[in-house]
Structure 1
Amino acid sequence: MDQQLEMPLQTTVAPHRSRGWIPWLIFFAFVVATGAYLYERPPTLPRQQGNRRNAQPMSIGAATIDKGTMDVALDALGTVTSLSTVTVKTQVTGPLLQVNFKEGQDVRKGDLLAEIDPRPYQAALAQAQGQLARDQAMLNDAQLDLARDKTLVDQGTVTHQAYDAQVALVGQDAGTIEYDKALIQSATVNLDDCRILSPTDGRAGLRQVDEGNYMTPGDANGIVVITRIQPISVLFTVPEDQLPAIAQRMQQGATLPVTAFDRAGARKLADGQLETFDSQIDPSTGTIKLRAGFGNDQRLLYPNQFVNVELLVDQHKDVAIAPVAAIQRGLPGTFVYLVNPDSTVSVRKVTLGVTNGERVEILSGLNPGDSVVVDGADKLRDGAHINLRQDGQANPAQPSATASTTGQATPPAETGNPASPPAQANVPADTQSDGQAPDGATRKHQGHKHRHSQTGQPESGQTQ
């Protein structure tokens, strides 16, 4: 009987232990499922607060579309180049007696710059002139002897051989005369070179040598450098793709204005015009060199100066012009927020033309007189109510005409819910935050909510 009572006791205890883990397993699975649900569920309180703010008109800045002329200009980097740069050197040897210019002085072609000691060359000229006089006398004597010999030959007193020798002597003396004249001319040139004259108009630079130094033609530095700065030119490069438009305008006889700015591009230095372009394109850079001429009346341009160049290629007249700050890019493409008369905004797709950095040409989508949003567009959506600011205050009656460039704009989200926040085009969808939620309220789940936005599910007020 004892064995029979003990055996059932052992068989009933083992099943009881195995079934005891099942409730704990169910409880653990319930906790995990509840935690996952709560983590994946977007919070509703921040959304409701954001929706209440959306119901209020937002303060924005606006500008009016103008009608005017849009310049088609090219910006480039250029280097100022002189039309004439001459290093003045001596052509004769000798000590430098006198310097007749001041550093920085404007000189004209033919002005006296310096003088070399002329005495050796004056003596050489006098020697050549004396030799010429002596040889001229010898020639005259030989010509007289030739005339007498001719008479004696006719009489038979002098042989023809003696007569021919006299003819040759006259010719030799005549050649000596020509040689003496050349010596005189050479001595005259050397004497003239003792007076060093300016070879061109320009500005004298710093003096390279002082008085008293012995000068030779082989001196590398010379005496001074004369640089022509009025007029002056600027060399700059443009992409080869821009060359056809430039060449076409020049073939039509158009004058293409060129403006030179300082290194920072803030101050205008001079106005000029395009003169010509190079005959070859640089294959390593895909650019071509152009030369522009400047009168440089105020002398703000100097050789080797670095400048910013603006080349006006063409002008588009009577076109609609909008501030660049009004242009938005996103899912609809390129668009603007158009201010409606009922103090709301609507999305208007536009086609852009040329731009100058601050203004852009509108080819289609807007008309002159339209009002567009230029500040506060990152919080807008299609149909949103707005207040127009003026002098820093919200004023729904009078729009602001000042274009503000306060960052990139955001297009509206393409969802069925008009209250859903816009999806920014210039920020990845997985990193941008909801524009209507308060800062830090939805950062924990923002990645999950943007996934809802991408799949077309509503974001605001959504519950799982």
Structure 2
Amino acid sequence: MKHHTFAMQTHKNIIAFLLLSFTTNFQARADDSTKTDANAPKPALTVTVDKPQQGALNLQLTANGNVAAWQEAIIGTEADGLRLADVLVNVGDQVKKGQVLATFATETVAADLAQIKANVAEAEASLAEAADNAKRARSVAVTGALSEQQISQYFSAEKTAKARLLAQQAAVKVHELRLIKTKVLAPDSGVISSRTATLGAVLPRGQELFRLIRQSRLEWRAEVAAAELLRLPVGTPIQLHLPDGKNIAGKVRMIAPTVDPKTRLGLVYVDIPVTANLKAGMFLKGVFALGQSNAFTAPQQAVVVRDGFNYLFCINKDNRVTQVKVQIGRRDGERVEIISGLAQNAAFVVNGAGFLNDGDLVKVVAAVQPVATTQ
């Protein structure tokens, strides 16, 4: 009986010892695990990732240039030494072909015209008298009443009178034309772009009075590198960016046949719609549309610019990032072409790339998709 009781007690002691050992070992392991988790490196940032996509990308060429008049007409005076009596238009006015823009004083021209017309009447009278004398000379020539010399003088006087009359009649036409030219007319429809006419000024012939943008047409003159000119055939569409943020469409009308030998730039002439609210002299940027081609692209926000170079942060298997130098090309909206430096199946950081350094540990999460809204 005592032996049995002793055995039972011994068995209980063994079980208690084993339980205590197990509990102590489990607690030690739990403490070690906690210490390991506490010492584990923490991710530097929570990021989203993406892979390069292949698709059609717009081919574009960006250029700068000035807005200029399609054709500008210089309107001057054809009268000489006349006083400018009235100026009827100003800069910015729309005019029609044949519209009176200014007038010169007509008193002097009208007086000269009246005098010339009087000279014509006098010449006509002289011609009539000379013609009568010549007629009588012819009638008596057979009788011998007049000498050959006298008859010749009458005939010469008639011819001289005719010539003087023609000269005076021509002078009348000249002065009538001069009277017409006292009105300065618009040679074409358009808008007045410059005015140098001053009321009361006495001007010589050929003096500039106005400049007119013909048909109110403007053009954009893009400065393009010589190597790019061959990519711009006539008719190439273009989008011009206006200062107010709007865009207008245009088309290439002509390419200059020469290139500036100093700048190596050539001019590309682009037609602008007449309805566009532009002014000659404005400096604009434009983008020529050259079609499409396939390309590998990445989101614009994934590209980090440092020290003048472009980088992507690629994700490794251990969720650490590697800074990869890439060469970028065309841009289309929020995506940019990756020309070289990136493997086709490489995963790279999108959101948060600008805060990373080479070798950083990151936590990758799924990108939040925009919620579709129903109308």
When normalised by structure 1's length, the TM-score is: 0.58
Matching residue's letter, 1:196: V
Q: Aligned residue for 1:272?
A: 250
Q: Aligned residue for 1:143?
A: 131
Cα displacement (A) at 1:136: 2.2
Please say if residues 57 and 387 of structure 1, whose CA atoms lie closer than 8 Å, have aligned partners that are also in contact.
no
| SS at structure 1 position matched to 2:180 | helix
Inter-partner Cα distance in structure 2 for 1:360 and 1:129 = 82
Matching residue's letter, 2:239: T
Please say if residues 128 and 184 of structure 1, whose CA atoms lie closer than 8 Å, have aligned partners that are also in contact.
yes
1:287 matches 2:276: no
Q: Deviations over 1:66-88 (max 9, x none)?
A: 74451322322334345214354
Matching residue's letter, 1:256: T
Please say if residues 67 and 283 of structure 2, whose CA atoms lie closer than 8 Å, have aligned partners that are also in contact.
yes
Inter-partner Cα distance in structure 2 for 1:228 and 1:50 = 80
Matching residue's letter, 1:267: G
Cα displacement (A) at 1:191: 0.9
Summarize the alignment of residues 299-318 of structure 1 with structure 2, pairs less than 5 Å apart: 300-312=277-289, 314-316=290-292
Q: Aligned residue for 2:62?
A: 74
Cα distance change of structure 1 residues 321 and 158 upon mapping to structure 2, 3 Å threshold:
farther
Please say if residues 314 and 323 of structure 2, whose CA atoms lie closer than 8 Å, have aligned partners that are also in contact.
yes
Cα distance change of structure 1 residues 356 and 175 upon mapping to structure 2, 3 Å threshold:
farther
Inter-partner Cα distance in structure 2 for 1:85 and 1:114 = 16
Cα displacement (A) at 1:106: 0.8
Inter-partner Cα distance in structure 1 for 2:245 and 2:74 = 30
Inter-partner Cα distance in structure 2 for 1:50 and 1:168 = 132
Q: Deviations over 1:415-444 (max 9, x none)?
A: xxxxxxxxxxxxxxxxxxxxxxxxxxxxxx
Cα distance change of structure 1 residues 137 and 225 upon mapping to structure 2, 3 Å threshold:
same
Greater displacement, 158-167 / 287-296: 158-167
| SS at structure 1 position matched to 2:257 | coil
Cα displacement (A) at 1:91: 2.4
Inter-partner Cα distance in structure 2 for 1:50 and 1:241 = 60
Cα displacement (A) at 1:232: 0.7
1:259 matches 2:239: yes
Cα distance change of structure 1 residues 329 and 93 upon mapping to structure 2, 3 Å threshold:
closer
Matching residue's letter, 1:77: G
Matching residue's letter, 2:41: R
Identity %: 18
Summarize the alignment of residues 12-27 of structure 1 with structure 2, pairs less than 5 Å apart: none
Inter-partner Cα distance in structure 1 for 2:88 and 2:106 = 16
Q: Aligned residue for 2:8?
A: none
Inter-partner Cα distance in structure 2 for 1:311 and 1:233 = 15
Q: 1:386 aligns with which of 361, 364, 375?
A: 364
Q: Deviations over 1:107-149 (max 9, x none)?
A: 1121112222212211211221221122123223323332332
Summarize the alignment of residues 3-402 of structure 1 with structure 2, pairs less than 5 Å apart: 52-54=41-43, 58-60=46-48, 62=50, 65=53, 67-89=55-77, 91-101=79-89, 104-204=92-192, 208=196, 211=199, 213-217=200-204, 223-228=209-214, 230-246=216-232, 249-250=233-234, 255-262=235-242, 267-268=245-246, 270-298=248-276, 300-312=277-289, 314-316=290-292, 321-327=297-303, 354-355=330-331, 358-361=334-337, 373-377=349-353, 378=356, 386-390=364-368
Cα displacement (A) at 1:184: 0.7
Matching residue's letter, 1:230: S
| SS at structure 1 position matched to 2:156 | helix
When normalised by structure 2's length, the TM-score is: 0.70
Say which structure is richer in strand.
2
Q: Aligned residue for 1:25?
A: none
Cα distance change of structure 1 residues 384 and 293 upon mapping to structure 2, 3 Å threshold:
same
Cα distance change of structure 1 residues 151 and 359 upon mapping to structure 2, 3 Å threshold:
farther
Cα displacement (A) at 1:283: 1.6
- Unpaired runs of at least 5, structure 1: 1-47, 391-397, 401-464
Cα distance change of structure 1 residues 228 and 66 upon mapping to structure 2, 3 Å threshold:
farther
| SS at structure 1 position matched to 2:221 | strand
| SS at structure 2 position matched to 1:200 | coil
Inter-partner Cα distance in structure 2 for 1:129 and 1:388 = 99
Please say if residues 55 and 295 of structure 2, whose CA atoms lie closer than 8 Å, have aligned partners that are also in contact.
yes
Inter-partner Cα distance in structure 2 for 1:286 and 1:223 = 37
Cα distance change of structure 1 residues 109 and 274 upon mapping to structure 2, 3 Å threshold:
same
Inter-partner Cα distance in structure 1 for 2:49 and 2:107 = 84
Inter-partner Cα distance in structure 1 for 2:335 and 2:224 = 22
Q: Deviations over 1:185-233 (max 9, x none)?
A: 121122112222223322235765564x24322696x554433472111
Please say if residues 350 and 366 of structure 1, whose CA atoms lie closer than 8 Å, have aligned partners that are also in contact.
no
Matching residue's letter, 2:260: D
Inter-partner Cα distance in structure 2 for 1:98 and 1:90 = 16
Inter-partner Cα distance in structure 2 for 1:358 and 1:229 = 41
Matching residue's letter, 1:217: P
Inter-partner Cα distance in structure 1 for 2:158 and 2:249 = 69
- Unpaired runs of at least 5, structure 2: 1-36
Count of aligned pairs between the two proteins:
330
Greater displacement, 377-386 / 134-143: 377-386
Cα displacement (A) at 1:297: 0.7
Inter-partner Cα distance in structure 2 for 1:50 and 1:276 = 71
Inter-partner Cα distance in structure 1 for 2:134 and 2:227 = 81
